[in-house]
């Protein structure tokens, strides 16, 4: 029974998200269609803060396992496909997308 629990807890699920790549310091504050927020997210990631995904429809911020893949998209609204294991997302593909009207 314990082995089964460990297997389920460590399971990996394919996941598709849309949202903003922000920085761990500011999180949701930089997840909006605003030039100042974009510049701040880019600067914070450049200075060493981890990039994170503020995904549409999710209450929590998604931690990114392969940070180097997300860093060039800091401050951008993106579509992401990857593998979600626990609370960490390993990105397979990432591309910029137009932010929906009215979205932060």
Q: Is 80:16 a contact under the CB 8 Å cutoff?
A: yes
pLDDT of residue 5: 36
Q: What is the mean pLDDT of the chain?
A: 89
User: How many angstroms separate the first and last alpha carbons of the chain?
Assistant: 44
Domains and CATH numbers, the chain: 12-96 (2.40.50)
In the structure, what pLDDT confidence band is assigned to residue 79 with cuts at 50, 70 and 90?
A: very high
pTM for the whole thing? 0.85
3-state secondary structure at position 75: coil
């Amino acid at each position: 029974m314990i082995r089964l629990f460990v297997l389920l807890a460590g399971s990996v699920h394919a996941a598709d998200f849309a949202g903003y790549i922000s920085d761990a310091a500011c999180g949701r504050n930089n997840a909006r269609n605003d030039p100042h927020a974009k510049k701040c997210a880019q600067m914070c990631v450049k200075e060493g803060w981890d990039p994170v995904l503020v995904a549409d429809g999710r209450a929590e911020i998604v931690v990114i396992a392969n940070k180097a893949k997300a860093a060039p998209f800091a401050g951008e609204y993106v579509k992401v496909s990857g593998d979600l294991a626990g609370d960490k997302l390993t990105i397979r593909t990432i591309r910029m997308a137009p932010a929906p009207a009215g979205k932060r």
